[in-house]
Amino acid sequence: MSRPVAPVVVGTGPVTPSEVVRVARDGAPVALSADALGAIEAGRRVVEALAAAPTPAYGISTGFGALATRHIPTEQRAQLQRSLVRSHAAGSGPEVEQEVTRVLMLLRLSTLATGRTGVRPATARLLADLITHRITPVVHEHGSLGCSGDLAPLSHCALALIGEGTVRDADGALLPADEALAAAGLEPVELAAKEGLALINGTDGMLGMLLLAVEDLRVLLRTADVAAAMSVEGLLGTDRVFAPDLQALRPHPGQARSAANLTALLAGSRVVASHRGPDCNRVQDAYSLRCAPQVHGAARDTVEHAATVAGRELAATVDNPVVVTGDGPSRVESNGNFHGAPVGYVLDFLAIVAADVASISERRTDRFLDKSRSHGLPPFLAHDAGVDSGHMIAQYTQAAIVSDLKRLAVPASVDSIPSSAMQEDHVSMGWSAARKLRRSVDGLTRVVAIEVLTAARALDLRAPLIPSPATAAVVRLLREAGVEGPGPDRHLAPEIEVAVGLVRSGAVVDSVEAVIGEMQ
Give the active site residues.
58
Distance (Å, whole) CA 107 – CA 105: 6
Sequence letter at residue 101: T
Closest by CA to 84, choosing from 102, 60, 54, 104, is: 60
Distance (Å, whole) CA 186 – CA 251: 56
- Let me know: does 460 contact 494? Beta carbons within 8 Å: no
- Residue 331: helix, strand or coil by DSSP? strand
What DSSP string describes 431-451? HHHHHHHHHHHHHHHHHHHHH
Residues 6+ apart with CB under 8 A from 95: 138, 139, 140, 141
Q: Exposure string (b/e) for 251-261, b if CB count within 10 Å is 16 or more? A: eeebbbbbbbb
Distance (Å, whole) CA 230 – CA 234: 6
Sequence letter at residue 48: E
Counting beta carbons within 10 angstroms of the beta carbon of residue 328, is it exposed (0 to 12), middle (13 to 18) or buried (19 or more)?
Answer: exposed
Partnered with residue 166 across adjacent β-strands are 176
Residues 6+ apart with CB under 8 A from 332: 46, 47, 50, 57, 58, 59, 60, 118, 321, 322, 323, 324
What does DSSP assign to residue 388?
A: B
Distance (Å, whole) CA 481 – CA 502: 9
- Let me know: does 375 contact 181? Beta carbons within 8 Å: no
Distance (Å, whole) CA 373 – CA 390: 16
The length of the chain, given as a count of residues: 520
Helix (H) or strand (E) holding 104: helix 98-112
Closest by CA to 27, choosing from 6, 54, 45, is: 6
- Let me know: does 104 contact 95? Beta carbons within 8 Å: no
- Let me know: does 467 contact 447? Beta carbons within 8 Å: no
Distance (Å, whole) CA 290 – CA 129: 52
Which segments of 133-203 does DSSP mark as H helices, in order? 151-161, 177-183, 195-200
Q: Are strands 136-137 and 166-168 parallel, antiparallel or unpaired?
A: antiparallel
Closest by CA to 200, choosing from 131, 134, 141, 139, is: 139
- Let me know: does 104 contact 204? Beta carbons within 8 Å: yes
Residues 6+ apart with CB under 8 A from 496: 394, 397, 446, 449, 450, 453
